[in-house]
Amino acid sequence: MITRIVRMEFHPNRVDDFLKVFEANKNRIAGYPGCLRLELHRNISEPQTLYTISRWISEDALNDYRASELFLSTWKQTKIHFAAPAQAWSSTALFDSAEIK
- Total count of domains within the chain: 1
pLDDT tens sequence across 40-60:
999 999 999 999 999 999 999
pLDDT tens sequence across 6-44:
999 999 999 999 999 999 999 999 999 999 999 999 999
CA angle, 35 as apex, 2 and 1 as ends, to 5°? 20
> Would 100 be classed as within a structural domain?
no
> Would 101 be classed as within a structural domain?
no
Cα separation, 58 vs 65, whole angstroms = 11
Banded pLDDT at 99 (limits 50, 70, 90) = confident
CATH code of 56's domain: 3.30.70.100
The string of DSSP codes covering 37-59 is EEEEEE-SS-TTEEEEEEEES-H
Banded pLDDT at 98 (limits 50, 70, 90) = confident
> Would 67 be classed as within a structural domain?
yes
Cα separation, 63 vs 23, whole angstroms = 22
